[in-house]
Structure 1
């Protein structure tokens, strides 16, 4: 990078500033900024600023003003020198107004003056009045002269437009910058008192501009006054000082009148909307009355008409948001049925949901309006909480308005014609989808008040749409009815209403295909079946029709996902009712496998559904036979995968080959010949995913009690053969494809599925089998396998497997430790390091005698490995190491030899562990790690007599990472930790010490 010399003359500085604004490489710009900042902070910075402000060019002057700000923020001046700077600053401001400097310079000088005020407010108490006085005289005059000036109103009215803008910019910056200064700090009490002392003058400045006067210059002044007012509203809300609030409240009425001026509308409506939304208490009753009158005026009625008619330009939508903010501020009045004016306005808010166009794609007010109504209903729920909802006056406002909104919302979320929908971009489509979800949430809120009538409403709408073949209406009504399924899930009180839908001609119509019912309506109707699966448990007579419909749809690529999800949910919920039909399900699945449109995810759900039915078959032989039939079907893909894998290198398969259809879903299916290797891999993944889904489906819905620890399971030769067959599939596919991460993940998912089971099953493998698979060779994602090994070890604590713990861990521990030993550095594979140490920690917690019986060199490696992780920077391995050491410190064993080994290990490792903990607590750790690091520290001081000696040595070690704490502070920290004896308060002591070691400026912003 080019070396930039520090300028030694003003022209050289100017040249460097010009370079800053030219297109240059980022590193050069950064270097220029560094050089200029050094100049600004130098003792010559004041002279530099003065010289730059006297030169032509806005960029040069701007940098001069910026230099003043830097100097004011970094140097403390005596009061007399400060007053001199103030006079000079005001002179520069006046000169900039006369010499044609741009607004960027004037604004920066105003910012510099505000910076001066923040640091020296006691020398410039009446800053606003003084600025206006100086602008009026066109000269910088002593601060004390303001005592004898004419009334401020006269001075403001006499200001030229450009001078008025400067005064407004200064007043706005005064509020914006001082609002950032902590109002609760005693250090800044004087500053904020001085700010408040200028409130009258600021109010006079703004009031003068808000008077209706014609002309472009007047409009500009009014805009700046409103911007200034916005800044002071924010400041007033932060300070909540009544005199200031009253000054600002007096400006609300003239501000409201500005809405009627086209050129002021946008900035004014934004101000009022924000304030109504954030600070309703600011407005008085008179203000609200004026706003009601405004909304009833012809001006507002025309804007409302334009918005509802489809005008979604920015200013039109802003009017709608203004209405919603007002409604939110008046929510109590809106809930009062006797307040006619409020109810009339509430009807207008409901009408916003009737605006022309589709939500998000066209209609930009629908979603904000629905958010208002959702909040309104929540308030109604709170109000009606203690009342019965059975006899509510739904025919009267505000409840009638709520039901009107329900009607409007249902109509608004109907899909447009396909040609219109396809013309939308992805953002518009996503926005429309989100709007539908918002309606679903809204309906669930309304349900808490209405209950059954809302269900009945949408049942009737479904039936009406069916009767007239109104498919978009049917889709929307089914969507809304489905959204209420969680609300209606308890009890049978809604079954009669639902029977009207599921006992109608709906299923027959849906089976007739897309020529009768459009695709989207069919999708939503299938989703409706899944949402009300509990209904079919109670009404098995409707179950065959529902399942026949779903299976007829699952082979269609556009219906596969909703129908397969419904099949899975329905079969899982109704499994005990369907065991006699398992043969028919297997035949359906066998038939579907030859369908080239049968989606892989849909297949996973279908086989999982069939497995859940098989799980409930009471007869062991019938269950085994059904499982075998299901596995044979999945095994076809395995055999094809293995056969393709044995093809010659580079062998290709035609895209119309049935195996390609099985390997690739329609959306990813190749159109040109594809490598046999790629097809083989995809077939393997599909088969494995089906196995994982079958394993999940075969899990008992509720875990059974394993019973006595000594329970023994009778030998089942059929089950043993199933274990051998499945494990054979896993081993073969692992050997061929474990270089693929997805294959490894799914194999581990298959193993995990059986770990939580307490009864024998096809995927509850013997521990020796699982151990053999885990400790075999893997080409990728071995960390995932180690994590699975941890879950496997935890599962062995079940009674009938306890005899396998020692031999299993005897194989797994060396395997895990060897994997860690192969790492170049502990953090070179953070995931493997984390899972490896977590594995060791779990064994240590439950079986310390097995861990400590490992080879001494391997134990030494693991302990040092955990020390390195604790001293590292990777958060997850570090957290795992912290947990390991917490467990190690507290480890106990009934075996005397094991306990003696633990004690010896602790005496050797204790100093290193303390050194590591102190290094972290002394500043190396991140703040988020401190609570976790406190755990082993607390255990140490309670468990080990040498803890104080070890910690003291670590604190006084030359390698301690911070020089910001004294020896006395370290000793005090240790004393506090030891006296707390592991209490929770230790965490705060650790945080305080860490913060002191980092430095006092390393604190979160309050």
Structure 2
């Protein structure tokens, strides 16, 4: 299909009509984008007014819709530029088209668009449209466009005119009234040019109220529904814009009593609409309601809506209005929560709270067939929050006479929630759609929040209630109920006073029950969710478990049994068990040393179950290593660690066998996984205590801190310890056998990094030469070169601590590898992430290894700094910030802030600055001159401030950069540049430099006109 050409000027209206018809013609579907573009162009053109008139005169309703839309588009674009006469004439045309549309019995689509267009005129016209509603109503009544003067003269009798409007005219009048309030609400706060709309709307509110009163008095359900929505919008606008205008609000408030009658009508749609109206008012515009109206609404809820809602719930009636009634009850409860808490003896309060309590006791699952409970939970959360806030603000409980009653209410609500938290059977949950599952999960999270509030209210004894519910469920084998109880216990864990003897006894009662034994029994019908929730219990109460070691054997049995027996379909459950095992062994390592032998025996079975995978094995290895680390002497640690290394070596040998047999994929997986296990072992073996940094190869670095450290040094530097460490290093040989080395290199780097955080000698505290030798192989094409350079950063940081001898040779070896990578990378933008790591490594060399930083030949040092400057002027924001930070640190080495004990370097930092000064100034001015983003300026200012503060030649270099033909902005004059330079140099690196830079940058960008 050929693309239609743009029409000639004299045939534009008809051509526009043809474009609309083609737009709706399936035969032109291939050129719809071009048709839309041409149509939009016409709607913005000088011919748009004529086009809109022609479209509205067409017989096709879809064309008439575009006619109204064209008027609206053109008004939004050019409405403000109309003259007074043009604006008046346009209003006459629009009202005339509105009347004609009713004479056509126009459909809802075109009618709505015409109403919206008239609202747009009201908003955009340069001549305020006073009495807009009166003029439109009178025009509808007369079936002609009445003048402004006529509309004003009809003002006194407008109520009579409205009373005589037939439904066919009343509905469009209400529709315009509704859309007007909705559209103005979104516009009049945007700019001063729309402020006058507030006065116009205030002037129209009496007419709107009369119109809505008539709408509420009809028997036409469509009109009644439209009126209720109109009341909602006008109420929202009035309350937001003139909340203190008593007279203006009163017009609408009088309608509220009338509208309240709709809450008990037989028509369900109208009942729901009215319920929605009052729900929104309660939620967003509570102050709009008068005291007697709130009382009337309260009586209606207590005597009608509430009882009907509860009756429907109990009888499992399929009444859709129950949900809307529950939402209204919730909104009312939240709006009056202070009264409901602080007036517990009031009959109405008791009646309402009883309704809220009963609303939680219906059948079904929240989020599925029980939406009522979901809604009411919002109230109970607010109720609990109010109680907690009052407790925090009160100096004495005696100041809260209502507290005992509130405790009782909260505990009764909790009792109702526990069965509601019960998970549906797996087959039921799987049949729910995604929205239902999400809604149910959201409900549980809301109850989680509720319980967290209740538990801090003194005297509620929530912990005992939850534990007793859990024990009862366990005894009766109701495992879904048990899950709900454990879920609730997890919710309150952070607030349970573990130091309290009674709390300890309650938790111990549950932990020492048959809970973990039953969880470990694969023959029992226990859901995955229940087991995972119990695993979370271990994490939630880890502090308690640490001090109650008698619980550990049953817990370990549960976790290991789960891993060993979980079928493939429950792999995630086994993964969770492995994760919990690692967490438990890490936090309880000292309590578990007596069980290490059993765990070493049971672990192979646990990691070879039907759902076993590398993730689980890694977690188990880490768990075992945590316990090994806690053994009392180094010989015992070495023996146990050797057993773990045998498992790793066995897997590595299998990997080599796989590869030799041609099973490359299996070999790669086994080899990489083995290194990941090794990394996990290294993580577990990390000492969590605080000791002095020790280098295993330098005896003179040792700062003795007790016998334990000396034993560690003697053992791990002795023959047996060194043999174990060599076995670990030999594991790295697998990398040479793998074709896809990326994951293996990543894992190897993880192994190397584990020892860098250690502060005592150990098997993973490798000599610097080993680490440097591995990292020095890094090249741009090395798989996971980023991981190698990140390890290099960690190494330099570890060797920069005070008291640690500088391994200069090894650091230089690593640095050379990094320099090679930057040279091969060439442009930082080719891989900003990698470039950022390189800059990070360079920054970590300052100040302790500045001699290494400047050790390469002159041309290499120049290349390094050129690389950094290219990062400053590049497009990557994070890289730019990192480069600016490095330059700041380096520049500071040449000023009074420099450390006094800098190692002597081949080239002095000041000599480097003398060389790169002009280039640095050019780079900084390139960014400040408009190329940087505003969010980057603070970072760019850091090296600028140091440059000015430390370098005598800074002003000259900056001046040359400012007058250079390469300066990026043409929007600043030489005088602006001179003023800028004078200001920043006079500030000498002070904080106000940032302000001056931002102001100058704004001029360079053109967002402000001058710089002074």
TM-score scaled to structure 1, two decimals?
0.88
Give the distance between the partners of 2:322 and 2:974, measured in 1 at CA. 67
How do 1:64-143 residues align onto structure 2 when only pairs under 5 Å count?
Answer: 64-75=67-78, 76-120=81-125, 122-143=127-148
Determine helix, strand or coil for the equivalent of 1:759.
Answer: coil
Which of 801, 805, 819 pairs up with 1:802?
805
* Aligned partners of 1:705 and 1:758 also within 8 Å: yes
* Aligned partners of 1:352 and 1:366 also within 8 Å: yes
From the superposition, tell whether residues 751 and 230 of structure 1 become closer, same or farther in structure 2 (CA, over 3 Å).
farther
Q: CA deviation at 1:415?
A: 2.7
From the superposition, tell whether residues 811 and 561 of structure 1 become closer, same or farther in structure 2 (CA, over 3 Å).
same
Pair 1:679-2:666 in alignment: yes
* Aligned partners of 2:360 and 2:376 also within 8 Å: yes
Greater mean alpha carbon deviation, residues 992-1001 or residues 39-48: 992-1001
Give the distance between the partners of 1:575 and 1:812, measured in 2 at CA. 36
Pair 1:711-2:702 in alignment: yes
Pair 1:848-2:850 in alignment: yes
Aligned equivalent of 2:774: 773
* Aligned partners of 1:394 and 1:400 also within 8 Å: no
Aligned equivalent of 2:574: 560
Give the distance between the partners of 2:725 and 2:971, measured in 1 at CA. 63
Give the distance between the partners of 1:71 and 1:429, measured in 2 at CA. 47
Structure 2 unmatched ranges of 5 or more: 704-712
Q: CA deviation at 1:458?
A: 1.9
Give the distance between the partners of 1:910 and 1:232, measured in 2 at CA. 66
Determine helix, strand or coil for the equivalent of 1:802.
Answer: coil
Give the distance between the partners of 1:642 and 1:603, measured in 2 at CA. 19
Q: CA deviation at 1:323?
A: 1.5
Aligned equivalent of 2:419: 411
Give the distance between the partners of 1:940 and 1:68, measured in 2 at CA. 60
Aligned equivalent of 1:701: 688
From the superposition, tell whether residues 442 and 986 of structure 1 become closer, same or farther in structure 2 (CA, over 3 Å).
farther
Give the distance between the partners of 1:276 and 1:241, measured in 2 at CA. 15
> Deviations along 1:158-210, whole A, 9 cap, x unmatched?
22333333322332333223223354855443332223222222222222212
How do 1:521-670 residues align onto structure 2 when only pairs under 5 Å count?
Answer: 521-557=530-566, 558=570, 560-648=574-662
Greater mean alpha carbon deviation, residues 51-60 or residues 199-208: 51-60
> Deviations along 1:962-986, whole A, 9 cap, x unmatched?
5566666666655655565545555
Q: CA deviation at 1:954?
A: 4.6
Aligned equivalent of 1:654: none
Aligned equivalent of 1:219: 221
Aligned equivalent of 2:16: 13
Aligned equivalent of 1:200: 206
How do 1:149-228 residues align onto structure 2 when only pairs under 5 Å count?
Answer: 149=154, 150-183=156-189, 186-211=192-217, 213-214=218-219, 218-228=220-230
> Deviations along 1:853-895, whole A, 9 cap, x unmatched?
2232222223232233332323332332232333333334556
Aligned equivalent of 2:789: 786
Q: CA deviation at 1:335?
A: 0.7
Aligned equivalent of 1:691: 678
Which of 487, 500, 503 pairs up with 2:509?
500
* Aligned partners of 1:114 and 1:174 also within 8 Å: yes
Aligned equivalent of 1:331: 337
Which of 50, 53, 57 pairs up with 1:54?
57
From the superposition, tell whether residues 549 and 879 of structure 1 become closer, same or farther in structure 2 (CA, over 3 Å).
same
Determine helix, strand or coil for the equivalent of 2:493.
Answer: coil
Structure 1 unmatched ranges of 5 or more: 649-675
Determine helix, strand or coil for the equivalent of 1:250.
Answer: helix
Aligned equivalent of 1:36: 39
Q: CA deviation at 1:457?
A: 1.4
Aligned equivalent of 1:667: none
Give the distance between the partners of 1:701 and 1:471, measured in 2 at CA. 38
* Aligned partners of 2:368 and 2:436 also within 8 Å: yes
* Aligned partners of 2:188 and 2:195 also within 8 Å: no
From the superposition, tell whether residues 49 and 506 of structure 1 become closer, same or farther in structure 2 (CA, over 3 Å).
closer
Give the distance between the partners of 2:237 and 2:922, measured in 1 at CA. 50
Give the distance between the partners of 1:39 and 1:303, measured in 2 at CA. 56
Determine helix, strand or coil for the equivalent of 2:828.
Answer: coil
Aligned equivalent of 2:255: 251
Q: CA deviation at 1:396?
A: 5.6
* Aligned partners of 1:312 and 1:364 also within 8 Å: no
* Aligned partners of 1:527 and 1:562 also within 8 Å: no
Determine helix, strand or coil for the equivalent of 1:770.
Answer: helix
From the superposition, tell whether residues 174 and 471 of structure 1 become closer, same or farther in structure 2 (CA, over 3 Å).
closer
Aligned equivalent of 2:859: 857
From the superposition, tell whether residues 273 and 961 of structure 1 become closer, same or farther in structure 2 (CA, over 3 Å).
farther
From the superposition, tell whether residues 776 and 44 of structure 1 become closer, same or farther in structure 2 (CA, over 3 Å).
same
Q: CA deviation at 1:116?
A: 2.6
Determine helix, strand or coil for the equivalent of 1:798.
Answer: coil
* Aligned partners of 1:209 and 1:221 also within 8 Å: yes
Give the distance between the partners of 1:537 and 1:265, measured in 2 at CA. 58
Aligned equivalent of 2:750: 749
> Deviations along 1:424-449, whole A, 9 cap, x unmatched?
34554454444434433322221111
Determine helix, strand or coil for the equivalent of 2:874.
Answer: coil
Determine helix, strand or coil for the equivalent of 2:345.
Answer: coil
* Aligned partners of 1:69 and 1:112 also within 8 Å: yes
Query: C-alpha root-mean-square deviation of aligned residues, in Å?
Result: 3.4
From the superposition, tell whether residues 513 and 979 of structure 1 become closer, same or farther in structure 2 (CA, over 3 Å).
same
Q: CA deviation at 1:957?
A: 5.0
Determine helix, strand or coil for the equivalent of 1:486.
Answer: helix
Give the distance between the partners of 1:232 and 1:959, measured in 2 at CA. 59
Give the distance between the partners of 1:127 and 1:807, measured in 2 at CA. 86
Which of 359, 364, 367 pairs up with 2:366?
359
From the superposition, tell whether residues 210 and 264 of structure 1 become closer, same or farther in structure 2 (CA, over 3 Å).
same
Q: CA deviation at 1:362?
A: 3.2
Give the distance between the partners of 2:856 and 2:363, measured in 1 at CA. 75
From the superposition, tell whether residues 628 and 185 of structure 1 become closer, same or farther in structure 2 (CA, over 3 Å).
same
From the superposition, tell whether residues 848 and 2 of structure 1 become closer, same or farther in structure 2 (CA, over 3 Å).
farther
From the superposition, tell whether residues 19 and 402 of structure 1 become closer, same or farther in structure 2 (CA, over 3 Å).
same
Determine helix, strand or coil for the equivalent of 1:198.
Answer: helix
Which of 822, 828, 831 pairs up with 2:830?
828
Give the distance between the partners of 1:273 and 1:969, measured in 2 at CA. 59
Aligned equivalent of 1:321: 327
Aligned equivalent of 1:673: none
* Aligned partners of 1:269 and 1:322 also within 8 Å: yes
From the superposition, tell whether residues 991 and 474 of structure 1 become closer, same or farther in structure 2 (CA, over 3 Å).
same
